[in-house]
Amino acid sequence: MVTGQRTHRFGKDRWRGNGLSSADVSERVRGGLTNLVSNASSRSLWDIFRANVLTLFNAIVAGSFMLLLALGRWQDALFGFAAVGNAVIGVVQEYRAKKSLDRLAVLNSPHARVLRDGAIQDIPTAEVVLDDVILLFAGDQVPADATVYDANGLEIDESLLTGESNPVDKAPGSEVLAGSSVVGGQGRAQVVRVGDDSFAGKLTAAAKRFSLVNSEIRTGLNRVLRWITWGLLPVMAVVVNGEMHAQGGWSQALATGAWKTAAVGAVASVIAMVPLGLVLMASVAFALGGLRLARDKVLIQELAAVEGLARVDMLCLDKTGTLTEGKIIFDGVHDAGAAPVRGWKEALGWFGADPNANATARCLAAVYKYDGGLRPASSVPFASSRKWSAVSFNEGSAPGAWVLGAPELVLEATTPGHVRALASAGGLASSGLRALVLAHAERPMADREADGAALPSMLVPAALLTFREKIRPDAATTLAYFREQGVDLRIISGDDPRTVAAVARDVGLDSTDGYDARELPENPELMADVLQNHKVFGRVTPAQKKAMVAALRSRGHVVAMTGDGVNDALALKEADIGIAMGSAAAATKAVSRLVLLDGRFDRLPGVVAEGRRVIANIERVSMLFLAKTAYAIGLSVVFGGLLWGFPFLPRQLSATDGLTIGIPAFFLALMPNARIYRPGFLKRSLTFAVPAGLIITAAVLALNTYAVMAGVYGEDSVRTGSVMVLALVALWVLLVLSRPLNRWRLLIVTSMYAGLLALLTVPVIADFFGISWPPDELRNAALLAALGGCAAVELVFRFRRRRNN
């Protein structure tokens, strides 16, 4: 978009009669003054690839993988597949988020009606240019920001943009916004802003900033990976030095080629330190959680959002489209304080069936049927300047003149018969209902009255009518669930505070008249104080919604925000978890983490339950992986410092990892788990994993010390003994973390013990993994070291559980 749009001035008035000419349109297209919206997001595919693949961490893993292939040790390079899987999942996940952002589109209508060269043309929305004359009819979506210069009962629904649920009357000189919808009347307008400069375009551009959901699990794992990345090089140096000395020193190892054996040992220690499967397992658990929710019509835009909602302690709700369905429905008839007037129901039937009726009057058609018997002598259509419509019948069941409109404009406060009706209407309006009055005059309308210049004379209030927004049937029970779970609630809307408060009361949330956001302080600290003390807010602007979410987060809350309008997009983007309803604008869905495809609010408790399952299970399996990292670092440092060779081959560690971590972790991560979320995932994981890893290190070290002191055992036998010790103690770690045991968890653990037995005894498997059955003395020493390690792990587990309780 060229900057000329803001400075160029065309003679607008002369274009109105016949619209723009083809030459005028071409001139604007050349100047870039079209309705195209830029699609660039803040992250390119190269940026995503570089962030997930070209890292020091991956360079070390890839270097180790290539070294083993160069040495012909492909059996020891199995870890490469897990590393590739991690990188692919990361790239695909972020690329999907980027594509979602790039597809942002506020306008759902593919075409617009414009007046060009004196003729009406249907053109794609993107081809609308500055100064185009657009024609607006009921059901149309406004393609660009425009100024109205001709209107006949024109009503615009701007709820997607501003949050105001009531249709807005548009008179000549007023402005209509791109993305809003025409719900009544018709009009013509001249485009004043297009593309990225439109109101919706600016909101969309602000929402396009790339960001990942705030995930404690992902943050914790990334922190561990950073620690490991920085520790890899110095630890690797220690291990390489120890391996070379174990082969007779640097000179001899280089001269004899023994350095190849040293390199394999160094790679084994380095790869053992890397919890490759943990990131993969977390992604798999999130993905399967997303698939489960997809069956319930819940779309997960980003995998970690499954975790996010389980951590939420503050839920902010937009009213229109979230708690309500965004539709006005007829509420009821109330006494107007006068004697009943014959034919009032028939008159209401006519108003509901009138083709020129506004959205509110059309609600009457569902209750009061019009059979076509009444023939109006004259009628006055609804207009925003009048706030009323009228009809006159000379004969039939409802003779006389009938007026339907705002009580304060139809009735006179000085007329004795109107006072009671006005007082009743005021009371109804203060409760959040929309009130209209049906008034009757015995004489049909005079000519000047039929022209719309004045109300019929001698009006008598016949009935007070109230209308309200249709509340979602699942809203009250869902909010009750969140209150029971300790989640605080805030209702934030662009609508009148009284209306918002009335809806809040209907869904079971105690509220007075609501807080008018026009009085909300701009200072974030003062705003946060107001948000702590009030629960319902009205007249909130899109910028205020975003600021309110930020203020709540500044007080340590994990905030979820629901919405369906473009006016909610910035707040949804700011929230920890943005939740869009199925009826939401395309832009709102694209920036949300979760989309309730069928619009059912009662899906959220199921999302919370799924998130809790994922968090609790990932925390369980993370202790397995982090314990492995702890003992890998411990073994590398200790054996390297002692100048001993690393006690495992890479393939042996791949086998023990699969039996003690990889295979069981996959099943444990998918099992039911209803534990309520508690902050501190990483701290809890490390307080068990580190001691458990050090215990395994000590047990393996004890066996190798015995073997060195005995001096009679071969290298393969000592490695097999080390495999036995590591696997048995690590399986005990699996056993204690699987508690409380049930039938399926017990089956998993016993299957892994059976797998270990097969690894040690089945010849084909043992030969592939370099297993050589040790002599009786060494085997007994290994079993004794393993027994001591299991006992120590049990003590650590019991102490930690007692402390956490």
Show which residues are catalytic.
Answer: 318
3-state class of 512 per DSSP?
coil
* Helices vs strands, H then E, count in the chain: 31, 21
The count of C-alpha atoms lying within 13 angstroms of the C-alpha of 252, restricted to the half-sphere facing its C-beta, is 7
Which residues, in sequence order, are CB contacts of 610 under 8 Å at separation 6+? 289, 292, 293, 306, 310
- Would strands 145-157 and 175-176 be described as parallel, antiparallel, or unpaired? antiparallel
Helices (H), 485-564: 497-506, 524-533, 542-554
Which residues, in sequence order, are CB contacts of 293 under 8 Å at separation 6+? 299, 300, 306, 603, 606, 607, 610
SS (H, E, C) 565-623: CHHHHHHHHHCCEEEEECCCCHHHHHHCCEEECCCCHHHHHHHHHHHHHHHHHHHHHHH
Do the beta carbons of residue 599 and residue 581 sit within 8 Å?
yes
Report how far residue 789's alpha carbon sits from residue 786's, in angstroms, rounded to the nearest whole number. 5
Report how far residue 456's alpha carbon sits from residue 347's, in angstroms, rounded to the nearest whole number. 15
Report how far residue 666's alpha carbon sits from residue 625's, in angstroms, rounded to the nearest whole number. 12
Report how far residue 384's alpha carbon sits from residue 168's, in angstroms, rounded to the nearest whole number. 8
Name the nearest CA neighbour of 705 among 771, 781, 759, 764.
Answer: 781
Name the nearest CA neighbour of 442 among 462, 413, 425.
Answer: 462
3-state class of 160 per DSSP?
helix
- Using the 8-state DSSP alphabet, how is residue 342 labeled? T
Query: What are the backbone angles phi and psi of residue 468, rounded to the nearest 5°?
Result: -150, 165
12-18's contacts with Cβ under 8 Å and 24+ in sequence apart are 12/131, 12/190, 15/131, 15/133, 15/190, 16/133, 16/149, 16/188, 16/190, 17/118, 18/115, 18/116, 18/117, 18/118
- Would strands 559-563 and 314-317 be described as parallel, antiparallel, or unpaired? parallel
Report how far residue 169's alpha carbon sits from residue 427's, in angstroms, rounded to the nearest whole number. 24
Do the beta carbons of residue 49 and residue 141 sit within 8 Å?
no
Burial class (CB in 10 A: 0-12, 13-18, 19+), 173: exposed
Name the nearest CA neighbour of 87 among 333, 315, 237, 274.
Answer: 274
Do the beta carbons of residue 185 and residue 157 sit within 8 Å?
no
Query: What are the backbone angles phi and psi of residue 612, rounded to the nearest 5°?
Result: -65, -40
- Would strands 168-169 and 119-124 be described as parallel, antiparallel, or unpaired? unpaired
Name the nearest CA neighbour of 696 among 746, 771, 633, 651.
Answer: 633
